[in-house]
Structure formats: structure tokens, C-alpha cells
Amino acid sequence: MTPQTRDAFLGGRISLRQPASGHRIGTDAALLAAALRPQPGERIVDLGAGVGAVGLALAALAPDCHVVLVEIDPDVSALASENIAANGLGERVELAAIDLTDKAARRGFPGLAANGADHVLMNPPFHQPGTTRAAPAAYRQRAHIGLVDSEESWSRAAASLLRPGGTLTQIHRADALPRILAALAGRFGDIRVLPVLPNASNAATRVLIRAVKGSRAPFLLLPSLVLHEEGAFTPLAEALQRGEAQIDWHFANNNTRQRDAGYRSHR
């Protein structure tokens, strides 16, 4: 059995059992969870949920929402199931251990009905085949390396799950942005892109993207979010990771506001 650890996440609001090495929960998951605050009663689908960090975080922060975790890897989905139970969220969080692109498999889960979700979140595999060295462990390969058309197939699945006007939110490598925008075209509008920079002296390594199904609103490139200054996380980055702040898609948490009121606090 792969060695595992149990770790606190979201400022200790939830605990997660996860593999001790390889793909582990970190800043990407925290930022994705901070990019959405559901309204009471809304339905959320977390595609490629892994051990459940993002979906469980949202369930903890928004106690009236319902979440479906979708994860294809049997070993990782078993950990997600354990994490649902360990955090006492079994009444509002369910697991679909299926291939998210398999329409027939999705029909077996009422929570994955077509046009039934208010929000879809996803953290797709960051690499295309042949662009990076594959990890020896199968679960690590699936977490990091997708299909040649992963952006297209994942966006198509998200669009089929969302109601008209529902939102898709994802985090990805910055260099994947052209492929992502191409996959969203014709399905989503009001696309907002938030570049995420490791520090103010470097280019963006990640992008957070929010899009609205069926919208015709124009594209927006938002001011960047900088994670580190003077070798440490900024106060905003710390607050986002603890679940005490959220990404504001209207003000974009740009760094001129970080020391003022440029983000929404949940303390």
C-alpha cells in the first residue's frame, strides 16, 4: 500500500488523508477553493477531485451546499471516500468514482444530471502526453498527465453538467491558457482570467479562470495575484489558504489592494 499521511487543510477546518509522496494538496487546491463561495442550496461538481480537498473545503465553508466529487483513480477515490466520512460530510458530499468524460457512467449518479449543477470546479492534469517525464506510479501519471485533448474533453463535460448561467472555475498552468480558451469557446462567456505569480519579479505560473455557461459577456484579463513577497506568503495568500478570504472576481485581489480592502474576509 502506498504510504499515506493525514494532514490539516484550510486552516484546520478539514483533515485529509493523502499519499505521502507525489501529487499532494497545496496552494493550487486552496486557490481553487477560494475562487468560489456558493449560495445556500447550490449544487457543485468537483471534477478530478483527487482526495477531495476542494469539494470538501467548499462543503465546510458553505454548509448549505451539496457537492459531488468525481475521481477516476480507484485508490485515490477510496481516500476521498474516507475523507468525506472523516470530516462528517457524508450527508452533503457524495463520490462518483468514474471517468468524468463517460456520459453513460454519469447517468448513474443523480448528482451528475445534465444541466443540473450550479458550479463546476476542476484542476485538470497539467501536462500533455510527451511533454514531461511520466511518474512511475499510475496514480501520479493520471494526476499530472492528461489526454491530448484534455482541455476540450473536460470543458465539454463541464458544460454538459452545468445549468445555463452556471459557472466553471479552474486552475491550470499559465502556458495552457490558449488551449483552455479554445476549449471554452462556443460554450462559455464572461471568461475572467486571473494570473497567479509566485512573486512580483516572475511571470505567472498559474491562471485561475472563471467562465459562465451560455454568457455572451466579453473576456476580462484581471490584475495579477502575487503569492510571495520577501520570501514569504503575502497576507492575502495566507488568508486564502486558511479559508479566511476569497478570490473576488470583480476586484481581482490585485496587489495594490492587498493591504487594504481588496479581498473579502471570512473571519
Greater pLDDT, 26 or 127 = 26
Sign of the dihedral defined by the CA atoms of residues 103, 104, 106, 111, in that order: positive
The per-residue pLDDT for 133 is 55
pLDDT band of residue 144 (cuts 50, 70, 90) is: very low
Mean pLDDT of the chain: 88
How much is the pLDDT for 2? 80
d(CA 142, CA 227): 27
Domain ranges within the chain, ordered by starting residue = 25-265
Percentage with pLDDT > 90 across the chain = 80
Helix extents (H) in the chain = 27-34, 53-61, 74-86, 103-106, 138-144, 150-161, 177-184, 235-242
pLDDT given for residue 130 in this prediction: 52
Burial track 214-243 (b if 16+ CB lie within 10 A, e otherwise): eeeeeeeebebbbbeeeeeebebbebbbbb
**Topology given in CATH for the domain delimited by 25-265:** Rossmann fold (3.40.50)
Q: Would you say residue 135 has pLDDT above 80?
A: no
- What mean pLDDT comes out for the span 133-138? 52
Stretch 199-216: mean pLDDT: 97
Please tell me what DSSP assigns to residue 135: P
The DSSP bridge pattern shows strands 225-229 and 232-233 to be antiparallel
199-210 average pLDDT score: 97
Q: Cα separation of 55 and 42, whole Å?
A: 13
68-124 confidence digits (pLDDT tens): 999 999 999 999 999 999 999 999 999 999 999 999 999 999 999 999 999 999 998
pTM recorded for the entire structure: 0.87
**pLDDT given at position 251:** 67
Q: Please report the pLDDT score of residue 23 as a whole number.
A: 79
